[in-house]
Amino acid sequence: MSDIEYKEWLNLANKELKEREIDDLKWKTPEGIEVKPLYTENDLKKIKHKIGLPGLPPYTRGPRATMYANRPWTIRQYAGFSTAEESNKFYKEGLKNGVMGLSVAFDLATHRGYDSDHPRVVADVGNAGVAIDSVEDMNMLFDGIPLEKMSVSMTMNGAVIPVLACFIASGLNQGCPLAKLTGTIQNDILKEFMVRNTFIFPPKPSMRIVADIIEYTSKNMPKFNSISISGYHMQEAGANQVQELAYTLADGKEYINAALKRGLDIDEFAPRLSFFWSIGMNFFMEIAKMRAARYMWSEIVSKFNPKNKKSLALRTHCQTSGVSLVEQDAYNNIVRTTIEAMAAIMGGTQSLHTNSFDEALALPTPFSARIARNTQLILAEETGINNVIDPLAGSYYLESLTSEMISEANKLIDEIDEAGGMVKAIEMGIPKMRIEESSAKKQARVDSEEEIVVGVNKYKPTEKQDINILSIDNDDVRTRQVSNLKKLKGSRNNKIVDEYLNKIETAAKDDSQNLLEICVEAAKNKCTVGEMTSAMEKVFGRHTLSTKTISGVYSKTIKKSEKISSINDHIEKFIEKNGRRPRMLVVKMGQDGHDRGAKLIATAFSDLGFDVDVGPLFQTPSEAATQAIENDVHIIGVSSLAAGHKTLVPILMKALKENDANYIKVICGGVIPPQDYDFLKKLGVSKVFGPGTNIPEAAIEIINML
């Protein structure tokens, strides 16, 4: 393009803009990247990354030479429903209707290494996933599904050793050789310490477990991905795309170093490392993120001098965003998921899960799950997307954006390296703080309508939509699981069980032994997930997280408005009347470690003038009630995501009543189906707030009820 052509375009643009200038059309992404209104071939001259060809280093255009033109991405459906029997039925139905691989969601009790009969998990069994207590449950989960032919992805990190051991034992029970087991175990414990919090053991022994799994699978399961290094939960916790990109790759470097310390050669395990991205609504940013990731990973791994080119290739699974789903005008979520799925495909994913539109309300119904699955089938079968390999390569805008993301992400990786690596950075709280700041800024932009969410802060529906939701009877699931556990323990050889549990404990003390190898034998002999976890816990201990909140970020980002002024007036009147600020305790009860909502509320309400205490993760209702009374709070804010509210909130209300503390108001927020609002209000809950709630408006409502 010549200078003359550009000047001609600029003159035309200025005429159309009239009183504005072309620079007025520039905008900054949440990551701080400046985006121009027009990109030209001249911008390609400025990029520093190599675009290359698909299937060849640095793999910017994809890890396979022919990509979808030869074989489409794998359509997965992430699911787990209450019991293994119910989940098995769902998997079989999906496989009949186009699903190519299974993706298992486990319940929170399993994630945290508790058997279903443990007293701390009364509200968690069968919620948000399937309960797996032993190899017997795993056998039922895959009954009639030949593991020799089926790729299985498992989202598991905390109890990763016993759960993977049960999966392997189940495969062996089917007669499937270890070498033919295919799929992925997430096994990404570092991000758990940053965002998701379903950890069990402290960082050091947790990293030992990661290395044990990489070692065992590299030697015995060549078709199995030993780790899925996950940025997904970072973005769900509020990370922007640059943070997700940088911290995920930094985690990958840490895992490589851990495996090398075990004496493994880079080419023994690097080709089986995989990644997992969240795909949100910033369409081009997500595509650029995936291209940047492949280029950067190739550069990172090349420094370890691999001889196999496949060691340099980043392969990935993607899932559409959960946090972009909203309760208000929920059918809009179908459109959001479709756009996000297109971004994942254009970005070159190897497999994809599409969320159901009702997941901001509850677990998906068969109806909503079918729509989510068919979204992928339509894209694969009706659009022609598959016909061309990497169709967006060379786009002036996209390649420029990719280059910018590489540059910005490398700055964050340098910060991690300067801290001494990701483990040290996590101990210092660096990535967690950055992500929580990003989350608070995003919420402030939405609350002040700087960032538009259709149906939430603009174009709001005038009528309520009745949406059928899936309801899980947690008490029934737990009763069944406890009964099955009792039968298992009564029928097995408990002397052999004790021998294997002692072996696990001994191996935990000795780094030269492989814990997964021993746990596979233990699982075959019907040791439970909880028992194997407890044996390791005797040596490693159970990790606890100190609760910290950031301040000032929300208030600095949100635009001043009448709402903010009204809150200030209400706070001042409250202080005049009561001699102190309104005080709130924000709690997460049960084993749900997803704390973005709780942290957002704590940060935002503090910035708006409330005194805010935050309870520790994994509290029981009784512990929460005691803390509220001791701290003399006016309000308890219960954050719920995993459907435990129908079990936990009644226990909390009872505990307050028994301690003559009914004066403390209780409010609930999070993923709570509207159908449950009346149930909670009959218990005495004052207010219920769903996903997409405007925080300043909620603050005014809460002050007015005090």
Is residue 187 within 8 A of residue 156, CB to CB? The reply is yes
Q: What share of the chain is helix, strand, coil (3-state, %, to 5)?
A: 55, 10, 35
8-state DSSP, 280: -
What Rg value do the Cα atoms of the chain yield, rounded?
26
- Separation of alpha carbons 454 and 461, rounded Å: 9
Is residue 337 within 8 A of residue 355, CB to CB? The reply is yes
**Catalytic residue, candidates 59, 68, 78, 216:** 78
Residue 521 has a CB neighbour count (10 Å cut-off) of: 15
**Catalytic residue, candidates 49, 111, 233, 665:** 233
Residue 396 annotated to the active site: no
- Separation of alpha carbons 129 and 78, rounded Å: 10
Render the burial of 180-218: b for 16+ CB within 10 Å, e for the rest: bbbbbbbbbbbbbbbbbbbbbbebebbbbbbbbbbbbbb
Is residue 581 within 8 A of residue 414, CB to CB? The reply is no
- Separation of alpha carbons 465 and 482, rounded Å: 38
Beta carbons within 8 Å of 79's beta carbon, 6+ residues apart: 87, 90, 91, 94, 103, 104, 105, 364, 369
Residue 620 has a CB neighbour count (10 Å cut-off) of: 18
- Separation of alpha carbons 235 and 240, rounded Å: 6
Is residue 533 within 8 A of residue 132, CB to CB? The reply is no
**Catalytic residue, candidates 191, 570, 594, 645:** 594
Residue 24 annotated to the active site: no
- Separation of alpha carbons 100 and 93, rounded Å: 12
Is residue 454 within 8 A of residue 56, CB to CB? The reply is no
- Separation of alpha carbons 528 and 486, rounded Å: 11
Is residue 627 within 8 A of residue 613, CB to CB? The reply is yes
- Separation of alpha carbons 128 and 396, rounded Å: 42
Residue 678's φ and ψ, nearest 5 degrees, are -60, -40
**Catalytic residue, candidates 588, 599, 645, 646:** 588
Cis peptide before 673 (omega within 30 of 0): no
Residue 476 annotated to the active site: no
Which of 516, 507, 514, 512 lies closest to 538, judged by CA?
Answer: 507
- Separation of alpha carbons 198 and 109, rounded Å: 10
- Separation of alpha carbons 434 and 440, rounded Å: 10
- Separation of alpha carbons 44 and 506, rounded Å: 58
Residue 554 annotated to the active site: no
Residue 118 annotated to the active site: no
Secondary structure in 3-state letters for 332-369 = HHHHHHHHHHHHHHHCCCCEEECCCCCCCCCECCHHHH
Q: Return the biggest CA–CA distance within the chain.
A: 87
Structure tokens at 453: 């969410």
Q: What angle do CA 275, 361, 191 make, to 5 degrees?
A: 25
User: What three-state secondary structure class fits 87?
Assistant: helix
Q: Which residue type, as a one-letter code, is found at position 103?
A: S
β-partners of residue 612 are 584
| Edge-first strand listing for the sheet containing 227-230 | 224-225, 182-185, 151-155, 101-105, 74-79, 351-353, 316-320, 273-279, 227-230
DSSP codes joined into one string, 110-155: HHTT--TT-GGGTTTTTSSSB---SHHHHHHHTTTS-TTT-EEEEE
**Catalytic residue, candidates 592, 607, 613, 676:** 592
User: What three-state secondary structure class fits 585?
Assistant: strand
**Catalytic residue, candidates 232, 295, 500, 554:** 232
Active-site residues, by number, are 78, 232-233, 588, 592, 594
